[in-house]
Structure 1
């Protein structure tokens, strides 16, 4: 029962999704089964022309339309099926009268027409198709009503019980069809919303995340830097910037190739990001440079940088059987009220430059 509730919830929220082929196959199976029931009903009531027609329709849906759906001839399958149901409704009304309720399927088809024109790609840009199909359906209803009032039904049902049975059954099925197609419409819209949200999330990630290292990119970091500067002005909360650069990275690329260099960069990024506290931010600032925003004073940032420096120096990256070791130099600047972000980044860059000039593999603060 729990699984059923979860499944129904997933359907109603649009999280569960069926392909168009599967949905049309279900509709086709329903139409075949429904015409089979009509075949039996018309046999029992001795309305043999409708019995023969419905028996033919069973094979029509079960064999021909199913075959068209398998070949993905969706537009043709839907149009032919709609016209068949319209003709069946009109013919049944003509044969047994409007009191039997077959004409109510004309209204159910209006809902179905708009849903199917929404899900079938070739119909989406042709808003006139469901409109004219609905108009044609309404016209057939009016014609059937007039003919029945003028001439009466062609065949009389055995008794009033059959009239009531047909009437109730047809209305129940028609309302069920309208409810189901409305549910499917909502389901389809929510499914499309889920797909759109997923695509938007991916686009957002592409806009803010470096694809190689999966660190934030420079644009995202600028937002965090501005927020930290605003917090400094409003509450005096200090932060530190750590700018670090892989030593002799060009030599790694020249010696082992750019793929090896990318692997080294990814490993370095992983070490840094895994050793940051919650709330601290790491980004790929450019090339082999990584900028770290630490929401703490200089001393805390220096200790973190030193710990990471040692881990990177000890890390061995293996590429095609070759062991590669690199080091990293760190420059640290602490936030100063009144300074612009650009000035703080430049301070960290100046410290990094000093470290590069003094042997590399060092933390300068």
Structure 2
């Protein structure tokens, strides 16, 4: 069936960059720990302690995020500063030849994908990165490292860091592209669904009917429409408030999801719903409507622990050859109106 659940369209204000960091954090922990062990082997204890400390910090943050999934704090800004200081410290201790400063390149794609940082801040940070590289090439070339490395060791580390920087930048770019695709999918889902029930909204349902109607005319298949609404919904709102009415709408939406996968159901407006049934004649549509009517009438919907009886009235129409779908829907709506006049909680076929 053509609908999306509310969970599928959850879009909040959390920065996409922070979401990316959460996904990438295990990899960051492994990289930091490996370099920490490398510096232990080289007996460069300050860098060994620093890289291990950053790995432990990321591990702690990952555990905290797992335990407080609803209280995520955007750590990206100050983590960027931490990386800059870490790499600057590395260059000061062992010189620029090993190439640890290259990793700042990998932060640029993530930096410009951030939705929370203003453009001026992104430009400023890019300038800081550029100045960092200029300093490494101009100023620090004459700097005597506190822990000088043998030439072959520095060259080996530089080659490893070049490969690591390229790999990290590629992974960052790929994961950010995945984040963009996920955001696009959430936006498309939001544009197509009703926020309260998770069913299709009126605009998306109209598109589905137009598409199915055109296909039906080409292949001469039956097509039926059902329009229905909740009986005495105003009295539910008056008695239990709009929150109570919203709960009823959500529960009805859940019940309507039991239809066939290729059927479509939408919240048409207010307490009114519409069902599109491809390959369904009047008899099949009648059975579907009756099953939905019975399901709603027999359901137990509680508001503030109080069971609330809910019923619905249905109007059913099959689109006749040469008839527009708007005309068939109007006939179904007239049948619904007759059902209301006849006592509600019933299925009425269009004439």
TM over 0.5: yes
**C-alpha deviation, 1:88, in angstroms:** 4.4
Change (3 A) 1:357 1:62: closer
Q: Which residue of 1 aligns with 2:187?
A: 203
Q: Deviations over 1:174-203 (max 9, x none)?
A: 211222222221222222223222222222
Q: Using CA pairs under 8 Å that are at least 6 residues apart, name the structure with larger relative contact order, 1 or 2.
A: 2
Change (3 A) 1:178 1:320: same
**Secondary structure, in 3 states, of the residue corresponding to 2:24?**
coil
Query: Residues 84 and 104 of structure 2 are in contact (CA less than 8 Å); yes or no, is this contact kept in structure 1?
Result: no
Residues of 2 paired with 1:256 and 1:55: CA distance? 67
**C-alpha deviation, 1:231, in angstroms:** 0.8
1:48-67 superposed matches below 5 A: none
Residues of 2 paired with 1:197 and 1:320: CA distance? 40
**C-alpha deviation, 1:361, in angstroms:** 1.9
Residues of 2 paired with 1:136 and 1:219: CA distance? 57
Residues of 2 paired with 1:311 and 1:24: CA distance? 52
Change (3 A) 1:288 1:191: same
1:25-40 superposed matches below 5 A: 27=32, 37-38=41-42
Change (3 A) 1:244 1:86: same
**C-alpha deviation, 1:24, in angstroms:** 8.4
**C-alpha deviation, 1:302, in angstroms:** 1.0
Query: Residues 87 and 101 of structure 2 are in contact (CA less than 8 Å); yes or no, is this contact kept in structure 1?
Result: no
**C-alpha deviation, 1:137, in angstroms:** 3.0
Say yes or no: does 1:351 pair with 2:335. yes
The runs of 5 or more residues in structure 1 that have no matched partner are 1-13, 40-53, 91-102, 148-156, 158-164
**C-alpha deviation, 1:117, in angstroms:** 4.5
Q: Deviations over 1:305-348 (max 9, x none)?
A: 12222332233322234232122111111112333332222121
**Secondary structure, in 3 states, of the residue corresponding to 1:18?**
helix
User: Between Structure 1 and Structure 2, which shows a larger proportion of helix residues?
Assistant: 1
Say yes or no: does 1:245 pair with 2:229. yes
**C-alpha deviation, 1:264, in angstroms:** 2.4
Match of 1:17 among 4, 12, 23: 23
Q: Which residue of 2 aligns with 1:278?
A: 261
Query: Residues 111 and 182 of structure 1 are in contact (CA less than 8 Å); yes or no, is this contact kept in structure 2?
Result: no
Say yes or no: does 1:226 pair with 2:207. no
Change (3 A) 1:304 1:33: closer
Q: Which residue of 1 aligns with 2:310?
A: 326
**C-alpha deviation, 1:221, in angstroms:** 0.7
Q: Which residue of 1 aligns with 2:9?
A: none
TM (norm. structure 1) is 0.69
Query: Residues 293 and 313 of structure 2 are in contact (CA less than 8 Å); yes or no, is this contact kept in structure 1?
Result: yes
Q: Deviations over 1:198-230 (max 9, x none)?
A: 222222222112122221111111111011111
Residues of 2 paired with 1:199 and 1:316: CA distance? 36
Query: Residues 101 and 133 of structure 2 are in contact (CA less than 8 Å); yes or no, is this contact kept in structure 1?
Result: yes
Q: Deviations over 1:108-160 (max 9, x none)?
A: 3463231244556777333333333333433468769xx9xxxxxxxxx9xxx
1:58-137 superposed matches below 5 A: 73-89=78-94, 104-105=97-98, 108-109=99-100, 111-119=102-110, 124-126=122-124, 127-137=126-136
Size of the aligned set, in residue pairs, is 302
Query: Residues 296 and 312 of structure 2 are in contact (CA less than 8 Å); yes or no, is this contact kept in structure 1?
Result: yes
The runs of 5 or more residues in structure 2 that have no matched partner are 1-19, 62-74
Q: Which residue of 2 aligns with 1:95?
A: none
Match of 2:276 among 293, 303, 319: 293
Residues of 2 paired with 1:35 and 1:306: CA distance? 73
Residues of 1 paired with 2:311 and 2:150: CA distance? 84
Residues of 2 paired with 1:303 and 1:227: CA distance? 24
Q: Which residue of 2 aligns with 1:152?
A: none
TM (norm. structure 2) is 0.71
Query: Residues 242 and 331 of structure 1 are in contact (CA less than 8 Å); yes or no, is this contact kept in structure 2?
Result: yes
